[in-house]
Amino acid sequence: MLQKTIKNFTQNPKNDILSGLTVALALIPEAVAFAFVAGIDPLVGLYGAFMMGIITSLFGGRPGMISGATGAMAVVMVHLIQKGNEVGDALAVPIENLGLQWLFITLLFVGAIQIAAGVFRLGKFVRLIPHPVMMGFVNGLAIVIFLSQLGLFKENVDGNQVYMQGTQLWIMLVLVLLTMGIMFGLPKLTKKVPAALVAIVVVASVTIFGGVDVSTVGSFIKDGGGAGLQGGLPSFQSQIFGLLDTLKGNWGLIFSTASILAAVGLIESLMTLNLIDEMTETRGSGNRECVAQGCANILNGLFGGMGGCAMIGQSIINVNSGGRGRLSGAVAAVALLCFILFGAPLIEQIPIAALVGVMFMVVIGTFAWSSFRILHKIPLSDAIVLIAVSAITVWQDLAIAVIAGVIMSALVFAWKNATMIRARKHLKDDGTKVYTVWGPLFFGSVQNFNTKFDPKTDPERVEIDFMESKVSDHSGVEALRNIANKYMDLGKEVKLTHLSPDCKTLLLKWNPEFETIIEHNIDDPRYYVMTDTLDSEV
């Protein structure tokens, strides 16, 4: 156990430390940008990234996965913060930034919901996400990451953000391409140092020592209304417990926002965990990740962070840079805090172009290019799901896209299985008509199942054989009960054979008199094998 713990913490200290530093540099503009999206101070986003990162890296379910402030959750926060600010401004004694205080309170509920999801082991449901949904998710996410970087090609002109033109644009493009070129070519020469970190250092050196006037992390923060990167340690937000009375009439907003944030955070985190599992050919714990995410969000609420979840882009940077242990995430979080406390002047000089180049390489590595080759080879329904999930991810957000994709796949699966129900018919020597049912009997196939029988014209003795079938849900049990009752109401003798034990139990609860029509003495050995197999799969 101790050896496994050490292995999870770090397999290669050098790679974990260097990749952690790379991730920390890339976290800064993202955390700041998402704080601006939510309409809060950049330091709140940076504190959120630090607290999410340190807790999930040490206690989460996936070594090497990076968590921080994310855009998917920031978008959900906007309405809550705006509403809180409106209420605060309308009070007899106005409260400044009340929306932010409401966010901290909401994060306490977000954390509680996520912890409950882990305790009740809901993380395992990520296994129900079909492969086309996963491919659509990563494709849509790659597009979202790409589009989010385009906003960094803007500059501040007379207080307005406009796209760069002329020399500024060309300089930006050259530096982005230089970054991408280093990240593409360096691994072919050596993999002892993270290519992303080297690229950032080289491009920053070119602009600093070459005196090139470009947009930097510092200018990006100031253009967004921030005072700069310099800050202190997160402080305990005790004031939020004295503001509960301001929530009168708005508790519904708090709980609904908390539920959405918790769902978005868990879906994005579990999908990222699943993707990193595939990349590293190892397996993380979804339930443990749920608990860690919840604890981190509660900590954010108590100490003034904006909360968050797993970040797929940063996680891919970390894994591709060699960060596979918990040490990499811990280093990224601690380095981010150190940058805030001590390294602000230096970090603020890093060109935005270098960070854009890193993210563009993440986009190229994230996008499932193989999806173009397989679109015409996979079933049409799967191709539609893949494209739809990609589009919804760009149009709405990741959580809605994944939920929609799972629902679409489930409906397609249910429809296909609904048409598979069959009933072979033959007569025994004694005149008994036997219906041998084949295919699953569940809510989707009930209607087809009912059409297979003709109680009025059938002979006096009927046998319904479920050797090749399985009654899967209450709708199936109810359909079987109704068919049997129709024969019994007509005074005909009906026998039910090869029913699974759970189906027998449910039927007898509804109709104890069915004890006389259910055949228990089964001599066919195949029945026991099928029953055991089907029960073990449920």
Considering the chain, tell me which residue range(s) the CATH 3.30.750.24 domain(s) occupy.
420-537
Q: What is the pLDDT of residue 128?
A: 78
| pTM over 0.95, yes/no | no
Are residues 529 and 496 in contact, defined by beta-carbon separation less than 8 angstroms? no
Indicate if the pLDDT at residue 115 is higher than 90. Answer: yes
Which residues neighbour 181 within 8 Å (Cβ) at sequence distance 6 or greater?
none
Contact between 69 and 308 (Cβ < 8 Å): yes
The tens digit of pLDDT for each residue in 127-142 reads 778 889 888 888 887 8
The confidence score (pLDDT) of residue 303 equals 96
The pLDDT of residue 241 is above 80 = yes
Q: Looking at the domain covering 420-537, what would its CATH class be?
A: alpha beta
| Listed range (190-194, 288-292, 406-410) with the worst mean pLDDT | 190-194
Question: Would the CA dihedral through 125, 131, 133, 137 be positive or negative?
Answer: positive
For residue 75, the SS3 value is helix
pLDDT band at 537 (very low <50, low <70, confident <90, very high): very low
* Mean pLDDT of all residues in 110-131: 88
Closest CA to 139 of 405, 320, 321: 405
Per mean pLDDT, which range of 55-59, 288-292, 507-511 is the poorest?
507-511
Q: How far apart are the first and last CA of the chain?
A: 32
56, pLDDT greater than 70: yes
Residue 536 pLDDT more than 70?
no
Residue 336's Cα: distance from chain center in Å? 24
Place of tokens 């319904």: 464
Asked whether the predicted pLDDT for residue 276 surpasses 80, the reply is yes
Distance (Å, whole) CA 59 – CA 41: 28
CB-CB contact of 228 with 221 (8 Å): yes
Q: Give the per-residue pLDDT at 305.
A: 94
Query: How confident is the model over 497-525, as a mean pLDDT?
Result: 79
Give me the pLDDT at residue 84, please: 93
- Determine the distance from the C-alpha atom of residue 422 to the mean position of all C-alpha atoms in its chain, rounded to a whole number: 38
Higher pLDDT, 124 or 104: 104
What percent of the chain lies above the pLDDT cut of 70? 93
Please give the average per-residue pLDDT across 229-258, as a whole number.
Answer: 89
For residue 433, the model assigns a pLDDT of: 94
Number of helices followed by number of strands (H, E) in the chain = 22, 8
pLDDT at 522: 55
**Could you give the CA distance from residue 49 to residue 26 in angstroms, rounded to a whole number?**
11
Tokens representing 83?
Answer: 């509403």
pLDDT of residue 529: 42
